[in-house]
């Protein structure tokens, strides 16, 4: 039996199949942890989502910002859905969309396995959050997302404010939690997220830190595997294993074995893209687009 964490798929079906072949994935014995952002930009999002859905008995998924955005789009009118990019449009207009989106909505924001010694999130943790606090905050949002009020959460989750504060309540609290788990790269020591700064470490303004290097951050008792930050590339340090290696941008798709004391990484080529492709920035919805 092997447990593998896999970085952001972002609709790269062919690369995902290559990676599963390279790690010799056997659904009879192995488990996959997907770090979120299963869909968008890769051109094969419907096929990718169907593949991961077919592996649901043998996999664990945490939601990324693109996954949550897909769920929100799924609640819009068909006229509005026909205005989104073709990659996501194929999902929300597919005949099995209700099964796929219903399953996706029931996934987690955080996966914790204390016996294994790992936590998985899409983006990161607030500076003062221990793993126990992070798990508790994730369950707050998951309860709403999995319950009857999920439409209200999906409609109101967009926006860059407020910054996290433990005294927050209601939708402001849920939005701040979602932003940390799915959009965090750089932040201030007080935890204010710098949403517009997306480059590699060293390019950020003074006073901002990668979330895993913030001075005075909480001690964490689990190793953390995450994705989201493609310009960071493969990073291992401070107990963090960041494995979004830019498959959708022509980089690699990465798998990290979690149930071994050795550092075992497997990578395959990502999507074929033109040289120096532009990275599109999606338009903002009325309340502000998630990044």
The pLDDT tens digits of the residues spanning 201-243 come to 999 999 999 999 999 999 999 999 999 999 999 999 999 999 9
Give the rounded percent of residues in the chain with a pLDDT score beyond 70. 94
Q: Let me know: does 223 contact 241? Beta carbons within 8 Å.
A: yes
Whole-number pLDDT of residue 272 = 86
* CA distance linking residue 153 with residue 147, whole number of Å: 10
The answer, yes or no, to whether residue 130 has pLDDT greater than 70, is yes
Per-domain residue ranges of the chain: 3-269
Q: What is the mean pLDDT of residues 14-24?
A: 98
Q: What is the mean pLDDT of residues 152-165?
A: 96
The answer, yes or no, to whether residue 151 has pLDDT greater than 80, is yes
Asked whether the whole model's pTM tops 0.85, one would answer yes
Q: 3-269: which CATH topology?
A: Purple Acid Phosphatase; chain A, domain 2 (3.60.21)
Whole-number pLDDT of residue 273 = 74
The answer, yes or no, to whether residue 288 has pLDDT greater than 90, is no
Whole-number pLDDT of residue 59 = 98
* CA distance linking residue 87 with residue 40, whole number of Å: 6
Spatial neighbors of 122 by CB under 8 A, at least 6 apart, are 35, 36, 37, 62, 63, 64, 65, 109, 181, 182, 226, 227, 228
Spatial neighbors of 178 by CB under 8 A, at least 6 apart, are 68, 109, 141, 157
Confidence of residue 1 (pLDDT cuts 50, 70, 90): confident
Q: What is the mean pLDDT of residues 115-127?
A: 98
Whole-number pLDDT of residue 77 = 93
The answer, yes or no, to whether residue 289 has pLDDT greater than 50, is no
Whole-number pLDDT of residue 279 = 53
Whole-number pLDDT of residue 274 = 67
Confidence of residue 277 (pLDDT cuts 50, 70, 90): low
Whole-number pLDDT of residue 36 = 97
Q: What's the angle, vertex CA 251, arms to CA 248 and CA 253, rounded to 5?
A: 75
User: What rounded mean pLDDT belongs to the chain?
Assistant: 94
Q: Which of 176, 170, 174, 156 is nearest to 72 (CA)?
A: 156
Whole-number pLDDT of residue 275 = 58
Three state DSSP letters for the chain = CCEEEECCCCCCHHHHHHHHHHCCCCCCCCEEEECCCCCCCCCCHHHHHHHHHHCHHHEEEECCHHHHHHHHHCCCCHHHHCCCCHHHHHHHCCCCHHHHHHHHHCCECEEEECCCCEEEECCCCCCCCCHHHHHHHHHHHHHHHCCCCHHHHHHHCCCCCCCCCCCCCHHHHHHHHHHHHHHCCEECCCCCECCCCCCCCCCCCCCCEEHHHCCCCCCCCCEEEECCCCCCCCEEECCEEECCCEHHHCCEEEEEECCCCCCCEEEEECCCCCCCCCCCCCCCCCCCCCC
């Amino acid at each position: 039996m092997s447990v593998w964490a896999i970085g952001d798929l972002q609709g790269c079906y062919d690369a995902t199949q290559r990676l599963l072949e390279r790690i010799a994935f056997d659904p009879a014995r192995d488990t996959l942890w997907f770090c979120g952002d299963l869909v968008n930009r890769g051109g094969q999002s419907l096929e990718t989502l169907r593949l991961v859905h077919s592996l649901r008995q043998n996999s664990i998924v945490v939601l990324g910002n693109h996954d949550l955005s897909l769920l929100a789009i799924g609640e819009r009118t068909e006229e509005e859905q026909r205005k989104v990019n073709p990659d996501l449009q194929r999902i929300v207009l597919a005949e099995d969309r209700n099964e796929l989106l219903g399953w996706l909505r029931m996934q987690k924001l955080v996966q914790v396995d204390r016996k294994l010694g790992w936590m998985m999130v899409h983006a990161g943790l607030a500076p003062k959050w221990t793993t126990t606090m992070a798990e508790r905050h994730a369950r707050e949002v998951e309860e709403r997302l999995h319950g009857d009020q999920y439409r209200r959460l999906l409609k109101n989750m967009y926006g860059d404010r407020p910054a996290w504060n433990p005294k927050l309540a209601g939708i402001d609290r849920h939005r701040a939690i979602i932003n940390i788990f799915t959009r965090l790269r750089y932040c201030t020591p007080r935890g204010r997220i710098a949403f517009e700064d997306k480059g590699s470490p060293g390019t950020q303004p003074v006073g901002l830190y990668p979330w895993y290097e913030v001075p005075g951050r909480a001690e964490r008792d689990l190793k953390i595997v995450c994705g989201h930050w493609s310009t960071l590339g493969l990073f291992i340090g401070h107990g963090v294993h960041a494995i979004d290696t830019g498959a959708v941008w022509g980089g690699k798709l990465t798998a990290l074995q979690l149930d071994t004391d050795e550092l075992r990484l497997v990578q395959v080529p990502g999507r074929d893209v033109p040289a120096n492709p532009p990275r599109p920035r999606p338009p903002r919805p009325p309340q502000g687009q998630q990044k």
